[in-house]
Amino acid sequence: MKHIVALQNLVTPWPDGLEPSDVELDAIEQELPLILARVDLLDAQIMTIDRTPSEVDERRIRRARNRVLVARRDLANRTAGSTGSGDAA
């Protein structure tokens, strides 16, 4: 059996700068609770795409929405507290 191999260099070489920086990784880590809450909400909504939501489904979606709101609030409070340089009004 004959193997087919690329004998030429890649057309678009992999640049070294594609890895996320430490600052970007820290930002992702701070947003992770919100990302996970949104994934949970999406999972709850996907479960009811092809059927009428039951009372349990509605409760699951409502709780997932509340978790998203809490995560958004916490993230906003965290970022507002870290960027503010003055006293509270």
pLDDT tens track for 17-74: 778 889 999 999 999 999 999 999 999 999 999 999 999 999 999 999 999 999 999 9
Count of structural domains within the chain:
1
pTM of the model: 0.68
- Give me the sign of the Cα torsion angle 78, 84, 87, 89: negative
Residue 89 has a pLDDT of 47
CA dist., res. 23 & res. 26, Å (int): 5
88 within a domain of the structure (yes/no): no
Q: Of the candidates 74, 43, 49, 73, which has an alpha carbon nearest to the alpha carbon of residue 61?
A: 43
Residue 81 has a pLDDT of 77
62 within a domain of the structure (yes/no): yes
Range of the domain at 76: 32-81
18 within a domain of the structure (yes/no): no
Residue 80 has a pLDDT of 83
